[in-house]
Structures are given as structure tokens and as C-alpha cells.
Structure 1
Amino acid sequence: MRKLFGFILTPIHYIVFGLILVIFQPVQWVCYKFIGYRAHKYSVDVLNFFLTASYYVLGNRVSFTNNQTLPLNRPIIFVANHQSMYDIPPLIWRLSKYHAKFISKIELTKNIPSISYNLKVGGGANIDRKDQRQAIAELLKLGVRIKDNNWSTVIFPEGTRSKDGNVKFFRAAGIATILKKCPNALIVPIGIENSWKMVRHGIFPLSTFEHLKFSVLAPIEPATGTPEEVVLQAENEIKAFLRQAPGYVQI
């Protein structure tokens, strides 16, 4: 039944999603060129609020739970499992007060309305996966930016999306590189549930009437271990949390 509704509602969702991107392209440009960072960031936050709202066209819901007391005057590295591109707008919107910056493939900086522009000017890191030296340099620059501005970054250490919701091995290299320039960054795991279900049939049809859940877990001090140990702890926290989630199935 969800798949059947997906055939009907997916085209509407894509039209709404695309219109939002097209509308906010000039809005971002004006904010950045004539007002500055804060106005541009606000436009990006609002953009991602509307992108998240477009999920409701499919009958899907989004909930974000943060029971942690996180500092606003300290850099944060949010470490999350990754299930689909639909992870990203809710994270940007709900982590807006932490100035969350993302690490993206450099290919995404071209030809995508709103998204490409934000990736180029928003302060994140755009890496070339074929050029290790460039990627490391970008991550080091990101570390400096989040340290100097008390920003945060969101990292998906699995390196690729999980197609079945099961958490893959977390790679520590990217986080270790950022910590070289920002050693006081607080590590904060985020558990993501059910985002993969939206794309269980691929990009068409999208699944309907799903409940996407984002949960901020207990923070980890980077000084408690090596970057590898800290990342492993974050991975284990996320896995343990997801195993307790209703309907979780280990495949």
C-alpha cells in the first residue's frame, strides 16, 4: 500500500522539492552577496525547513530528539549513521543554532539549484575523493573554521549510505584530521532511523507514511581516547541505541 501511494505522491514531492530549490537559489545569492554570512545562513536554514516539510507530501513524518545540553561556545563534531540524502535537510534545520557544516563530494558543487551554491559559500568542506591531498587539505581548513567560529560539522563516517538501516563500520580518518586543527571539538553521536525506508524502492517510487527519527546521543570528550577509540565509541553508542528502537531488525 505504501508503494502504491508512492507512485501517486512521489511526483508531487519531487515537484515541490525542486521548486523549493529553485526559489531559494536567488534568495541565497542576494543574502550572501548583499548582507553577509548570517543572512545567508538564515536563508539556508529556512530552505532546509521547507525541504524537510516536503517529506510530509509523502505522508512521512520527521521527529528530532535532543535531550542533551550541548555548548554553543565550543566546536562540535556531530557523528551520525547515514541512510539516505533525506538525512541532510532535517539535520541542517534542527542543528541550525550550532552552525552545522557538511562534508560533501566536490561534484555536488555544480548544477544543483540552492544546494551547489550553499556548498560553495556556506563554509563546509568539498572534497575530491580521487585526490587525497586535496581532501585532507579541505578537512584541515574545516577544522580551522569550526575552531575559530565555534561552529559544528556533521560527519557520516560510514562513507556511504546504508541501504537497509544497518550501521556500517565507522572510519576515523576524517574526524582525526579535523581534530588535528580543532582538538577541543566535542564529539556528539546522532542516531538516524527509517530514512533508508524512504528510498527502499530507489528514487521512484519513494516510500510513504514512514517516520524518520533523529536522536542526539550522549556527547563524548575527545580527550578520553585516540580519535579511533572515540569514533568507535560513537559507533557503538549509535548501534546500541538503534538496537533498542521499536521494529529494529538486524540483517
Structure 2
Amino acid sequence: MKKLIGYFLSPIHYIFFGGLLLIFHPIQWLCLKTGGYKAHKTSVDILNGLLSCTYMLLGSRARFVNNQALPGDRPIIFVANHQSMYDIPPLIWGLRKHHAKFVSKIELASGIPSISFNLKHGGAANIDRKDKKQSMGELLKLGSRMQEKNWSAVIFPEGTRSRNGEMKPFMTGGVSILLKKVPNALIVPVAINGSWKFFRHGKFPLSTFEKMSWTILAPIESAGRPAEEVLQEAENAVRKSIENQH
């Protein structure tokens, strides 16, 4: 039944989702040119808040849960599992006060209205996974911006999306490089649960009436500890959170 309803609701969702991307592309450009970083960031935050609302057009519920008292005076590295492209809007909206910048594959930085513009001009690290030198350079530059501007980062250490909800092991590389530049960064695990279900039938029809959650977990201090140890602790916390929600 969910799949059948998806044939009717998916076009409506895609029209609103795609329409928002088209409308906010020139808005982002105008905000950046006239108001600089602050205005541009505000436009991006609003866009992603609205994109998150389009999930409701599929009858689905998205909950962002943050019961942690996160500091505002130090950089944070948010470490999350990755289930679908729909992971991103709730994270941008929910973490907006932390100026969270994404570690993203470079292919997304061109050709996609609004999304590519933000990745190019919003402070993200756009890495070429086939070029280790370029990837390291992008991460180091992001680390410098985090240290200088008190920004935060969002990284998906699995390296790719899990299309069936099964977590892959976290890889240390990206977090390790960031910590070299931002040794005082706080590691905060984020458990994403259920967003993969949107695409259980592929891109069309999207599944309907799904329940999804983005849960901020207890922070982990990284100072004086190997990156591998810290990331393993974060991975364990995310796995446990997802298991407890099933």
C-alpha cells in the first residue's frame, strides 16, 4: 500500500523539493553578494528547514532530537552514519547555530541548483575521493576555518550511503586530519535512523508514511586520545542508538 500511495505522492514531493532548490539558488547568490556569509547562511538554513518539511508531503515524520547541552565556544565534529541524500536538510537545519560545514564528495559541488552553490561558497570541504592529496588539502583548509571562525563540521565516516540501513564501519582518515588542525574539537556522534526507507523502491516511487529520526548523542572528548579510539567510541554509540530504536 505504501508503494502504491508513493506513485501519487512522490511527484508532489519532487515538485516542491526541486522547486525550492530552483527558487533558492538565486536567493543564495543575492544574499551572498549583498549580505556576505551571514545572509547567505540564513538563506541556506531556511532552505533546508523547508526541504525537511517536504518529507511530510509523503506522509512521513522526521524528528530531530537534541537533548545534549553542546558548547557554543568551541568547534565540534559531528560524526554521523549515512543512509540517504535526505539525511542532509534536517542536519543543516538542526545544527544551524553551530555553523556545521559538510565534508562532501566533489561531484556534488557542480550541477545541482542551490546544493552546489552552497557547497562551493558556504565553507564545505569538497573532496575528490580519487585524489588523496586534494582530499587532505580540503580537509586541512576546513580545519583551519573551524579553528579560525569557531565553525563545526559534519562528516560521514562510512564513506558512502547505506542503502539498506546497515551501518558500515567508520573510517578514521577524515576525522584524524581534522583533529590535527582542530585538536580542541569535540566529537559528537549523530544517529540517523530510517531515512534509507524513502528509497526502498528506488527513486520512484518514494516510500511513504515512514518514521525517521536524527539523534544527537553524548559528546566525546578527543584531547590526548588516538583518533581511532575516539571514532570507535562514536561508532559504537551510533550503533547502540539505532539498535535501541528498532
- Is this a same-fold pair by TM over 0.5? yes
Corresponding pairs, count: 246
Instruction: Give the equivalent residue in structure 2 for 1:137.
Output: 137
Instruction: Give the equivalent residue in structure 2 for 1:106.
Output: 106
Matched to 1:92, the amino acid is I
Q: Which runs of 5+ in 2 are unaligned?
A: none
Give per-residue Cα distances to partners, 1:221-250, cap 9 Å, x unaligned: 0025200000000000111111111xx3xx
Is this contact kept in 2: 1:129–1:135, CA < 8 A?
yes
Q: Which runs of 5+ in 1 are unaligned?
A: none
Whether 1:59 aligns to 2:59 is yes
C-alpha separation in 2, matches of 1:224 and 1:232: 15
Please give the residue correspondences for 1:81-230 in structure 2 after superposition, counting only pairs within 5 Å: 81-223=81-223, 225-230=225-230
Instruction: Give the equivalent residue in structure 2 for 1:30.
Output: 30
Instruction: Give the equivalent residue in structure 2 for 1:16.
Output: 16
C-alpha separation in 2, matches of 1:65 and 1:110: 31
C-alpha separation in 2, matches of 1:114 and 1:241: 32
Matched to 2:10, the amino acid is T
Give per-residue Cα distances to partners, 1:156-205, cap 9 Å, x unaligned: 10001111212110001000001110000000001111001111111111
- Give the SS at the match of 1:74: coil
> Runs in 1 of length 4+ with deviation above 6 angstroms?
none
Is this contact kept in 2: 1:73–1:150, CA < 8 A?
yes
Whether 1:39 aligns to 2:43 is no
RMSD over equivalenced CA pairs, Å: 0.8
- Give the SS at the match of 2:220: coil
Is this contact kept in 2: 1:224–1:230, CA < 8 A?
no
Matched to 1:128, the amino acid is D
Matched to 1:212, the amino acid is M
Matched to 1:31, the amino acid is C
- Give the SS at the match of 1:29: helix
- Give the SS at the match of 1:140: helix
Measured after TM superposition, the shift of residue 107 of structure 1 is: 1.3
C-alpha separation in 1, matches of 2:44 and 2:132: 29
C-alpha separation in 2, matches of 1:227 and 1:42: 33
Matched to 1:240, the amino acid is K
C-alpha separation in 1, matches of 2:241 and 2:108: 31
Matched to 1:114, the amino acid is S
Matched to 1:189, the amino acid is P
Identity %, equivalent residues? 61
